[in-house]
Amino acid sequence: MNDIIDSFGNPACDSVRESIRVEIVKHWDEQEIVGLYGAAGWWKEGMDPGRIPELILGSFLFAVAIDISTGKAVGTGRVISDGVADAYIQDLVVLARWRGSDVGRMIVSALLDGCRAHKLSWVGLIAEPGTEGFYSSIGFSPMVGYIPMLYSSILTEAV
């Protein structure tokens, strides 16, 4: 069973809300999350699905978009934060069948609502190329003059 903390909806997404709900959770089926990460190209051979519970619990917020008719996850996203000032949205993915139907917007909306509820004053993310329009439409803007950096020495030990 999944522990649900809150459910969120976005008035702009009324047509999708009949089919999808977004919940902030502390647990979710490991294989469903692996499937979502795999669909995004993030799940690599040799990664341990047994670490998914740690990934979820270690996140400040973990949102799952659920197909109401099946109870299965069709998208996810999470927030990493100190819980005081800064937050980063990470790992936003929606299955191809649901892309373009506001599911991603619903997930981000739920995550931003959670950040607001905790009075977090700074929320950032690193957008994949081609997704700038999506994030701009939600209220994000490029951080001109800043460069995302990645430390690569220990990445072979990732989830």
Q: Which strand (E) or helix (H) includes residue 18?
A: none
In whole angstroms, what is the distance from residue 158 CA to residue 141 CA? 29
Q: How many angstroms separate the CA atoms of 22 and 65, rounded?
A: 4
CB 73 within 8 A of CB 116: no
Tens of pLDDT, residue by residue over 78-112, are 999 999 999 999 999 999 999 999 999 999 999 99
Q: What's the whole-model pTM score?
A: 0.86
Domain ranges of the chain: 4-157
Q: Chain centroid to CA 116: how far?
A: 16
pLDDT recorded at residue 16: 73
Burial of 15 (0-12, 13-18, 19+ CB in 10 A): exposed
**CA–CA separation, 104 vs 93, rounded Å?**
7
Q: How confident is the model at residue 127 (pLDDT cuts 50, 70, 90)?
A: very high
Full DSSP string of 122-159: EEE--PPTT-HHHHHHHT----TT-------TTGGG--
Residues 6+ apart with CB under 8 A from 86: 120, 121, 122, 123, 124
CATH architecture, domain defined by 4-157? 3-Layer(aba) Sandwich (3.40)
- Non-local CB neighbours of 51 within 8 Å, separated by 6+ positions: 159
Average pLDDT of every residue of the chain: 89
DSSP-derived 3-state class of residue 45? coil
- Tally the C-alpha atoms within 13 A of residue 133's C-alpha that lie toward its C-beta: 2
% residues pLDDT > 70 (the chain): 87
